[in-house]
Each structure stands twice: as structure tokens, then as C-alpha cells.
Amino acid sequence: MSESTPPPWWKGATVYQIYPRSFADSDGDGVGDLNGVLNHLDHLQYLGVDALWLSPIFRSPMADAGYDISDYCDVDPLFGSLADIDRLIAEAHARGIRVLLDFVPNHTSDQHPWFIESRSSRNNPKRDWYIWRDEPNNWRAALNAGSAWTWDEHTQQYYLHLFLPQQPDLNWRNPEVVEAMHGVLRFWLDRGIDGFRVDVIHCTGKEPSFADDPRCLAGQPLVEFNDQPYSHEVLRGLRRLVDSYPGERVLVGEVNIRATERVLQYYGAGDELHMSFNFQPLDAPWEPVMFRTCIRDVEALLKPANAWPTWVLSNHDNSRQRSRYQGSLRSAHAAAVLLLTLRGTPFIYQGEELGLEDAVIDPDEQVDPGGRDGGRAPIPWLAAPPHGWYGRPPWLPFPPDSEVLAAERQLREPDSTLALYRRLIAARKRSPALLQGDWEELPSHPNVLAYRRQFGDDHRVVCLNFADQPHAFPINGRWQVEVASDAQGENEPYSGELAAGQALILCPEEH
């Protein structure tokens, strides 16, 4: 990217993931909804994010929290209506916030009219919209669902589902399926949606001979390693469609393969995904070796390929970062500095800006078949129970310390997690180096991770101390603290030392 060419909006964006059923409830039924999101757009504007990504809002029987879709072109009544999403898009755009939807191309619900037709008879015109076989192979489904094949008594064949039996896989080799799913994207793009997070895109292409796989024999689900050339053909078609619309619409993909060199392939030659999630930090404990290795890996592989990185520390499928860091708010604050200063687009999962931990879910309260409820607990807006959720009790219990961590309370506290995220996003916006500059690792003690970001004559240095004791980190030149994870010493000269667990953004001292 030359310094005179403005980069596309998504390269400089901070994206905020909303899990709608847990964000905010407008009608008192105990489940978050689109009007709840609308009512809290001021929170997102205050935070400074540039885009929001909504986890699935489409009509669904909710066997897998909306990832089992029975109508891609309607909103589930649990969340609202098409009029509600239209209003949300308009209000978000009025605040300069773009809106991304979650597109689920690999499978539908077994209640989708397409599958109801497909399973009605072997001769139905939509039979080949799904994947049917006389004999199963050894492929394993995700979410502890066992075999990826379920027997249909009526038509005496098995159908494929890489997730739950209620989520049959579409046959993307059928041109009619391709056209129907392209129609879904057009429907939403025409309504003003700015792009899509594409669910398990690496699963759309299947091994054509349906050969057994030894990894499945060992109990591993196919979704963890399915990586077929045809998925790239599917993606190129989606990209051509999205690129035909004005306004730099974007595709960000979930390629849930824990190998950066494989994920890189899904960027294609600039003709597949605009961005793909990098999930390695989701698995990493808060320690320097893992993060140093992960960042070096991403830089070494993606930069030469001109592939733009993403960074994410939590999402709806994983434990919250603070819970993974043994409940340490100090580590969660340092991680926020890391997330918002690396080269690439950061994604913040709702509630991370409040420093939330996973909720404690008793066995009789569990909703998700994959056991992922802890990170999906409701957001506490107000300090006093029921924390802004009036009417029926919320569908899951609140996270720990909701009274203390409520958004209302943090708004008034200058050293809160919310205030830190706001300062970090603001610092990012005012620095070309942080938005689009090069990343260069600096020599440091093994317990310190330090790097320089530079674009033209704009410079920042970021340094993180992973240790429980202070560490010297001398640096040439005169620098001042722009943002500190512990809010100490901001706008003062840098002393050359990092406090225990502290992370800093340094900028050159103004003369």
C-alpha cells in the first residue's frame, strides 16, 4: 500500500462482535434482540468501534444458537423483524458504524424448506442440494455429535452433517445451491449490509471420493482439518459477487484450521477472503513465548503474500480471555494493548471491554450442546440487578462481579477496563503507524515483548511485560507514555522501566 493510496476501510477498522441473545434485551423476554443492540449503539460509538458483526439473527429452530438456519432471508422473531434490522443498519450507518452479518454457507437447518423437500423423496428436484449416500464413511461431526452421517428412514439413505444432525450440509457442487446462496448474499447486500463473517468456509468443499480419514478414526471431527480445493472455488464465487457491489464490502472468514500457512491459502490471489481469522491467540495462555511465536508466524507468512491479518482474543465459541488468564484483570488489560496495536484488524468480543469472565453454568442451566455457554452470558449494563435486563430472567446467568463490572459503573471510572479500551481505540485512530504501519520486533528480555510500528514519519513502540516483577526496557530517543494498561504515567516521559504485568504504547516526545 503506497502512502498516497487510502487503504480500504476494513484495514483500519476495529470490529466489535455482538452475540445478540446476550447483548441487550428490549422486550423483557430474557433474550437479547436487535432493538437491544439499537438501544446501545451509543455504547459502541463511545467505545469508538468502526463496525459491528452480528452473530446469526436469521430464522432458526436454535439447535445450535442460530447456526442452524431455516430461512436466510428473514429475522428470527426472537431477535425482531426485517424492519428492526433495517432500522439498526440505518442508525449504525448514521453513527459511522458499519454492519456485518454472519453468513453460514456450509449447512442449513433440517427445518429449512430446501431440506424438507430434499428428504421427501429420492426423486425430489432438491435431493441433490444436500449430500446423500447409501453407505456412511468414518467422518466425525463436531459438537460431540458422533458420526457425521444420519440415517433417513423415509428415503433409506444417510445424509451428511459436519455439525449436529439438525444441520445437514449443503452440496456446493450443485449450481442451483450456488445460485440460491448467492441470492442470499444479494438480499442482504441490497439492504445495505457492509459484509459478512463467513462461518466454517473451509468445510464447503468435501473430499469427492468420501474416503475414510484416519484422524476421524481417532475421534477428531472433520471440521478441524477439512481443507479441500473446492472450498476455494466456492470462495472465489462469493468474492466476485461481493466485489460487484460498491462501498468496499468485505468477507472475513472462519477457517478453523490451527495452521497459519493453511489459513493463508483462503486469501487466494487476492480473490478469496479479504481477511481470515487467526485463531492461534485464542488457544494461547498469557505468556511471551506463545505470543511471540504466533505474531512472528503471521508476519512471516502473511506479509509477503499481501494478506491482511486479523487479531482476536475471545469470541462466542471460546472461553473469555480473562478466564483463560486465570482471572487476571492485569493480564486482560495488557492483552487489550496487544490486540489493538498489532498489524491487522482487531476484533473485540462483546464484554471484553468490561473485563468480564465466563459465567459459572450449572449442568441444569447448560444450553449449548458444545458447552460454550460461559462466554455467552448476558452483558451487565447497570450495576444493580437485574443489570438492565428487565422482565423474565435472562436465558443464562450473569458473569461474576457484574455489579462491579457493569458498563454504567465503568463509565464513571477513569482507570476502568472500558476507559482503557476507549483510549486504545482512540490512540489507534490517530496513528497511521498503528493503523497501517510495518511491524518490527525489538530485542528484549524473554519476559518482555516489544515492537515498533512505523508508517512514514509516524512511529510507535509497544512493550509488554509478562512478568510479575518490573523489567527494564531501555530504548533510544525520547519517548512518552501514550497509553498504559494500568493507566499509570500516561502523557509523561517514559522511564525506561515496565511495571509488573504492564503494557505501554510509547510515542516520540513532542518537542
Residues involved in catalysis: 199, 254
Q: Are strands 448-455 and 458-465 parallel, antiparallel or unpaired?
A: antiparallel
3-state secondary structure of 444: coil
Q: Which residues pair with 197 in a beta bridge?
A: 102, 252
DSSP state, residue 496: S
Which residues are within 8 A (CB) of 229 and not within 5 positions of it... i.e. 6 or more apart?
205
DSSP string of 276-298?
E---HHHH--S-HHHHHHHHHHH
81/74 Cα distance (integer angstroms): 7
193/52 Cα distance (integer angstroms): 11
| Residue 322: all three cell numbers together | 480473562
435/454 Cα distance (integer angstroms): 10
DSSP state, residue 86: H
Neighbours of 171 (CB within 10 A): 20
Burial 187-199 (b: 16+ CB within 10 A, else e): ebbeeebbbbbbb
Q: Are strands 458-465 and 503-508 parallel, antiparallel or unpaired?
A: antiparallel
26/28 Cα distance (integer angstroms): 6
Cα 391 off chain centre by = 30
| Residue 470: all three cell numbers together | 518490573
H helical segments located in 244-383: 260-264, 280-283, 288-302, 321-324, 329-339
Cα Rg of the chain, angstroms: 23
Identify the H or E element spanning 432.
Answer: helix 432-436
